[in-house]
Structure 1
Amino acid sequence: MKNHDEYLYIGRQLLDAQPFSKLVGAKLTTFNEGEAVLEIPIKENLLQQNGFVHGGVLSYAADNALTFTGGSVLGPHVLTSEYKINYLRPAIGESLIATGLVVYAGKRQAVCRCDVEVIENGEKKLCATAQGTIVTFDPSLKM
C-alpha cells in the first residue's frame, strides 16, 4: 500500500503528461486510495460568453477527478467508460475544486462520484456533480 506522498507524486506525473490538463492549469492537490482532488484556477480563457466557467471545463474537471479516483484503486491503466454530470449553478469565482470518491471498486471497474465546487469570495459553492464508471485496459493492446 502506497502512502499519501507516493500516490500524489505518481498522480502529478500522470496529470503532467496530459497536455490538455496543462492548458487549463489543473493541479492535483490530493490523491489517496479512493480519493482525488483537482483544482483549476479560473482564468478568462475558461469562460463562456456570459462570464461563467464553460461547461466543458466543469466536465473536464469531473471526468479527470473521476478517472484519477478510479485509478487510485484500479491502477494506472484506466479509462472513463461513462459518466453523467449535472450542472447545478453557474460557476463564477476564483477556482474550481473537483473532489472524486470511490463508491464501489471491483477488479476491473470502479464506480466513482465527483462534486465540482467553485471558490467565490473564499466560500465553496457546489456547481456540478457527476458519477462515472472507470475501467481498466491492457496498455499493450492497440485500441
Structure 2
Amino acid sequence: MPDLPPDIAAKVRQSFASQNLMTMIGAEMTGLSHGSCELSAPIPDTMRQQHGFGHAALTFGLGDTAAGYAALSVMPDDHEVLTSEIKINLLAPAAGDRLVAEGRVLRVGRRLIPVEADVWAEQDGQRILIAKLLGTMVPVPIRPAAT
C-alpha cells in the first residue's frame, strides 16, 4: 500500500475538521492511510435512543464519514468525494461509551469508488462489532472559487 502524500493527508484532515456533525459529536480521526480511515467518537447521552444504546444515526454517520475519508485519501488533490449510496447492517446494539469506525476503499475507479466500513462499540476495553456498511463514493472535481 503506498504511503499517503503529506498534502493529501493535510487535505483530508482539514476537511474532517470542518465537518460540523463530527465536531458536534466529538469525533476524532484516529487513523489515516492510503485507502483507509479510522474515526472514534464518544456516545453522548444526547445521542442515545430510548433503551440507552447509541442511536443508529450516530453509528451510520460515523461509518459513512470514515468510508468517505478513506475514499478522499485516494483522490487527486483537485477532487472531493460524495456518498452516492450506502447501506448499513446493524449487527448489535451500540452498548458502550465510544464508537470506532474503520472505513476502507475496496477499489479505486474513475467514476465510482466502492467502500466499506466496520463500526465497533467499546466498553471497558472490549470491542463489539455493531455494524457493517457498504457503499459507493463518487469523485467530484473541486470547482475554483468564484471571484
Identity of aligned residues (%): 32
- Structure 2-normalised TM-score? 0.87
Structure 1, gaps ≥5 residues long: none
1:106-125 equivalent positions in 2, closer than 5 A:
106-125=109-128
Please report how far the alpha carbon of residue 20 of structure 1 lies from its aligned counterpart in structure 2 after TM superposition.
1.1
Structure-2 separation of matches of 1:11 and 1:58: 21
1:72-130 deviation line (CA, Å, top 9, x unaligned): 11245110110100001101112100001111111232111100001111011000000
Conserved 8 A contact 1:8-1:28 = no
Structure-2 separation of matches of 1:103 and 1:3: 17
1:15-36 deviation line (CA, Å, top 9, x unaligned): 1111111111111111111100
1:100 aligns with 2:103: yes
1:51 aligns with 2:52: yes
Aligned amino acid, residue 110 of structure 1: I
1:84-95 equivalent positions in 2, closer than 5 A:
84-95=87-98
RMSD of aligned Cα (Å): 1.9
Structure-1 separation of matches of 2:134 and 2:112: 13
Conserved 8 A contact 1:36-1:69 = yes
Residue 22 (structure 2) aligns with: 21
1:40 aligns with 2:27: no
Structure 2, gaps ≥5 residues long: none
User: What secondary structure, in the 3-state scheme, does the structure 2 residue paired with 1:105 have?
Assistant: coil
Aligned amino acid, residue 96 of structure 2: G
1:137 aligns with 2:140: yes
Pairs aligned (count) = 141
Conserved 8 A contact 2:4-2:73 = no
Residue 12 (structure 1) aligns with: 13
Aligned amino acid, residue 128 of structure 1: A
Structure-1 separation of matches of 2:31 and 2:7: 11
Structure-1 separation of matches of 2:143 and 2:5: 29
